[in-house]
Amino acid sequence: MFGKLTLADIPLDQPIIMGTCLVLLLAIAAVLAYLTVAKKWLWLWREWLTTVDHKRIGIMYCLLAAVMLLRGFSDAVMMRSQQALASHDHAGFLVPEHYDQVFSAHGTIYQQRVFRNRKSADQQLHLWHSDDRRESPARRPGAVAVPGYDVVGCGFPDHRSA
């Protein structure tokens, strides 16, 4: 599964990588310990991870967006700091391989975000035509009215007569 990856490939001599891994492992262990001690595993599974409630899905989406924003921000700060500190005789604080990895990951994440958002926008532009025989979500209190479209419809536009 890991190919030629061995324990010797772990960069124990790189304090930034190892410090980040240590903080991440401690945070994961703390969350897992809390979920176990508070007996919240079943609650987490039923109420959040397998929910169909649009509000909870939106909250999870916003949390993931915030995490990815922090990830992108930290990548950008590392790259700019490396460029600012690297001079003629000083290599900066990142080894070249680590800088290359951060640069590639940052670009890949950005491209995925741009193309995913573009696909989402294209899907939003192609809202399905509402069927007059069922209740339109625009008639419900608090719903956004999009004339002639049904934002919860699935499938192709319905051109049947009522």
- Give Rg (Cα) of the chain: 24
**Could you report the per-residue pLDDT of 32-61, keeping only the tens digit for each?**
999 999 999 999 999 999 999 989 999 999
User: How far is the CA of 137 from the CAs of 105, 126, 134, 160, in angstroms?
Assistant: 41, 16, 9, 19
Closest by CA to 98, choosing from 79, 73, 119, is 79
Mean pLDDT of the chain: 75
Dist CA 11 CA 28 (whole Å): 21
Pairwise CA distance, residues 98 & 100, whole Å: 5
Question: pLDDT tens digit string along 87-133?
Answer: 777 878 888 888 888 888 887 777 666 666 555 555 545 444 444 44
Asked whether the beta carbons of 150 and 131 are under 8 A apart, the reply is yes
Domain ranges of the chain: 14-50, 54-123
CA dihedral over 31, 74, 112, 152, signed as positive or negative: positive
